[in-house]
């Protein structure tokens, strides 16, 4: 145990130490107890080859069956909070209509188990897992789906809001836009910028409507959104590079950050959409709903920076319209890398985000809702006692936390740090390729859990509220 006088980086009392996960990535039990299909179940059925090693969403970490064991382990490694999500298609199998009693029982049991173990559940409503029945009518392209989501959110608040006091409308809402409608890495695999804009707009509208519904119930908790904020750094201070970074930031960060916190969309983005004839369909009253229902709290997911430069070549006029029409991605010489995942590691990015929120977004209450290091082939780091010696992950967390601590010293309103993720989980098309957990999961031994070195280290950090 570290003694108090050895602690160099301490965190405010009540700091939220924990991790995050999602329903589809951890629950398993993909077609039992009345759960309906979501887009992942369906896509895996029709294109299993798109998933690493052909592993689908039924083969996840089986939290559905092992939640008691898992919550006990969370307690053991120092969690006082944990972010989960509710599977829309488990709770309301067709996306609308009948509510599944088995799902109510499961989520009640999970929430109660957290509370009995002194771990506060933070609950997300939408984490990339559109019910398939609603995707058939257009998913987020459809106003009907916005209404269905609002009803789903309200059902969750009514069922669980007596105990859950931290709600999040969406996780990384830009990702289904990018993956499903621009870059072909999520179902429905559409490449169509106009549809992408409509999907993003409806997602934002659905978030505001859920916030409105929550406040009308007066449940005395907080409701927010989780955004993956990726600072856009220009190659140089040349005005053309700076302009490229401002546009990239408007597309990928401010598109959801500004309406969520300020109730309005960024002018740079609106100008481009208007000039290109790509504005979404907006109905009367929508913008007032967005303006008047901003978030109480913001979750910040941060993994790596975005580095951009001015366009080197004119875009191909025949190519699909993409944000990269306005900038090129830039590989910075000498950057620090995660060699196992191919992502840049830039710890100061987390500080830059927090200071930006402090200076430009009213210092909104926030927390680091995801940060983490994926490693392929992590088994090679397992020692003779069966413990994965993931010193690289400890270093990754520690170096990011140093910058979080600096932001706090400078007045940032950041309240916690959640690692992605608690245990190795199924990661969309990557399945189990990259491992992120504090706890390893052995799929060949009925999902056997083993705490990694980083999990034991995290407990000392949580116990000491610093390191």
Q: How far is Cα 175 from Cα 185, in angstroms, rounded to an integer? A: 9
Q: Are 459 and 396 spatial neighbours (Cβ–Cβ below 8 Å)?
A: no
Q: Does residue 421 have a cis peptide bond before it, meaning omega lies within 30 degrees of 0?
A: yes
Nearest one of 258, 133, 144, 129 to 187, comparing CA atoms: 129
pLDDT in tens, the chain (467 residues): 555 568 999 999 999 999 999 999 999 999 999 999 999 999 999 999 999 989 999 888 999 999 999 999 999 999 999 999 999 999 999 999 999 999 999 999 999 999 999 999 999 999 999 999 999 999 999 999 999 999 999 999 999 999 999 999 999 999 999 999 999 999 999 999 999 999 999 999 999 999 999 999 999 999 999 999 999 999 999 999 999 999 999 999 999 999 999 999 999 999 999 999 999 999 999 999 999 999 999 999 999 999 999 999 988 888 899 999 999 999 999 999 998 877 999 999 999 999 999 999 999 999 999 999 999 999 999 999 999 999 999 999 999 999 999 999 999 999 999 999 999 999 999 989 999 999 999 988 999 999 999 999 999 999 999 99
Instruction: Enumerate residues 6+ apart whose C-beta is below 8 A from 150.
Output: 206, 209, 210, 213
Q: Are 347 and 397 spatial neighbours (Cβ–Cβ below 8 Å)?
A: no
Which 8-state DSSP code applies to residue 183?
S
Q: Are strands 366-370 and 297-301 parallel, antiparallel or unpaired?
A: parallel
* CATH fit for domain 4-464, picks 1.10.3720.10, 3.40.50.2300, 3.90.1150.10, 3.20.20.80: 3.20.20.80
Q: What is the pLDDT of residue 315?
A: 84
Q: What is the pLDDT of residue 75?
A: 98
Taking phi over 0 as left and psi of -120 to 50 as alpha, with beta for the rest, 28 belongs to left
SS3 sequence, 75-93?
HHCCCCEEEEECCHHHHCC
Q: What is the pLDDT of residue 316?
A: 87
Q: How far is Cα 250 from Cα 232, in angstroms, rounded to an integer? A: 10
| Annotated catalytic residue within 150, 172, 347, 378 | 172
Residue 41 is encoded by which pair of tokens? 């179940």
Angle at 200 between CA 210 and CA 374, to 5 degrees: 95
Residue 105 annotated among the catalytic residues of the structure: no
Q: Are 24 and 88 spatial neighbours (Cβ–Cβ below 8 Å)?
A: no
Q: How far is Cα 343 from Cα 338, in angstroms, rounded to an integer? A: 5
| Annotated catalytic residue within 120, 347, 370, 378 | 370
Residue 347 annotated among the catalytic residues of the structure: no
pTM above 0.85, yes or no: yes
Q: What is the pLDDT of residue 144?
A: 98
Q: How far is Cα 459 from Cα 422, in angstroms, rounded to an integer? A: 12
Residue 43 is encoded by which pair of tokens? 């896509």
């Amino acid at each position: 145990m570290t003694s108090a006088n050895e602690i160099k980086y301490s965190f405010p009392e009540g700091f939220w130490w924990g991790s995050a996960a999602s329903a589809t990535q951890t629950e398993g039990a993909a077609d039992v107890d009345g759960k309906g299909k979501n887009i992942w179940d369906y896509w895996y059925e029709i294109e299993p080859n798109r998933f690493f090693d052909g592993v689908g969403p039924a083969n996840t970490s089986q939290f559905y069956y092992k939640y008691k064991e898992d919550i006990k382990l969370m307690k053991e490694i120092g969690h006082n909070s944990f972010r989960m999500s509710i599977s829309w298609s488990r709770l309301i199998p067709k996306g609308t209509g009948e509510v599944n009693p088995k799902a109510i029982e499961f989520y009640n049991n999970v929430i109660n188990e957290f509370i009995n173990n002194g771990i506060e559940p933070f609950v997300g409503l939408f984490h990339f897992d559109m019910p398939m029945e609603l995707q058939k009518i257009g998913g987020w392209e459809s106003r009907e789906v916005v209404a269905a989501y609002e009803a789903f959110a309200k059902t969750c608040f009514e069922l669980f809001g007596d105990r859950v006091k931290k709600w999040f409308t969406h996780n990384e809402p830009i990702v289904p836009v990018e993956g499903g409608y621009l870059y072909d890495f999520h179902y429905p695999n559409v490449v169509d910028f106009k549809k992408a804009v409509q999907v993003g707009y409806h997602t934002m509208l659905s978030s505001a409507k859920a916030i409105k519904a929550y406040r009308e119930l007066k449940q005395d908790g907080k409701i927010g959104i989780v955004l993956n904020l990726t600072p856009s750094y220009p190659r140089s201070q040349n005005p053309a590079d700076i302009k490229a970074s401002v546009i990239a930031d408007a597309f990928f960060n401010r598109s959801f950050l500004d309406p969520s916190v300020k109730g309005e969309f960024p002018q740079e983005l609106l100008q481009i959409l208007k000039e290109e004839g790509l504005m979404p369909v907006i109905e009367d009253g929508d913008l007032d709903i967005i303006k008047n229902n901003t978030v109480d709290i913001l979750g910040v997911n941060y993994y790596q920076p975005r580095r951009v430069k001015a366009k080197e070549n004119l875009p191909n006029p025949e190519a699909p319209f993409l944000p990269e029409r306005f900038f090129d991605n830039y590989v910075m010489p000498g950057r620090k890398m995660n060699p196992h995942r191919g992502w840049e590691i830039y710890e100061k990015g987390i500080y830059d985000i927090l200071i930006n929120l402090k200076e430009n977004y009213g210092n909104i209450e926030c927390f680091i809702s995801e940060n983490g290091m994926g490693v392929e082939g992590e088994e090679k780091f397992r020692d003779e006692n069966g413990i994965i010696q993931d010193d690289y992950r400890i270093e990754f967390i520690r170096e990011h936390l140093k910058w979080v601590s600096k932001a706090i010293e400078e007045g940032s309103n950041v309240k916690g740090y959640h690692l992605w993720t608690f245990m190795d989980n199924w990661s969309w098309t990557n399945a189990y390729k990259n491992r992120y957990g504090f706890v390893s999961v052995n799929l060949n031994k009925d999902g056997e859990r083993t705490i990694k070195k980083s999990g034991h280290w995290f407990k000392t950090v949580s116990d000491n509220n610093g390191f």
